[in-house]
Amino acid sequence: EVQLVESGGGLVQPGGSLRLSCAASGFTFSDHYMDWVRQAPGKGLEWVGRTRDKPNSYTTEYAASVKGRFTVSRDDSKNSLYLQMNRLRTEDTAVYYCAREGSVVAGGAFDLWGRGTLITVSS
């Protein structure tokens, strides 16, 4: 089955760190750029960041709100995507989704999403 499954969510104090994982299956993970998207309670979708593929040197991009605090990485040998979150703030509280960028034909659309994992930043 083609799917993405996130894990690693939970409660963390402000200023703390957390690492999310996303396990991919059913498709060739290494062929795709991969992204993280979040949704805070009562808010809309917000893009967090992305990692490109090996031919593009696994380069990354980030939203301004997380740049310098969050790091997106991947391990193609494990079909896994990661999000290292440092210096967490209360406003980082959200459900975090792993999302696959489709082929070039898809024009950068996210054609597969995980079910998400909840991060709560609170003292």
Q: Which stretches of the chain bind another protein, using CB under 8 A?
A: 35, 37, 44-47, 50, 61, 63-64, 97, 99, 102, 105-111, 113-116
Cβ nearer to another protein, comparing 10 with 108: 108
Collapsing DSSP to helix, strand or coil, 18 comes out as strand
Smallest separation (angstroms) from another protein to the CB of 5 = 11
Smallest separation (angstroms) from another protein to the CB of 10 = 19
Cβ nearer to another protein, comparing 11 with 109: 109
Cβ nearer to another protein, comparing 29 with 97: 97
Smallest separation (angstroms) from another protein to the CB of 75 = 22
Cβ nearer to another protein, comparing 64 with 77: 64
Characterize 39-54 residue by residue with b for buried, 16 or more Cβ atoms within 10 angstroms of its Cβ, and e for exposed.
eeeeeeeebbbbbbbe
The owner of tokens 């079910």 is 115
Strand 70-75 to strand 80-85: parallel, antiparallel, or no bridges (unpaired)? Answer: antiparallel
The amino acid that residue 117 corresponds to is T
Rg (CA), the chain: 14
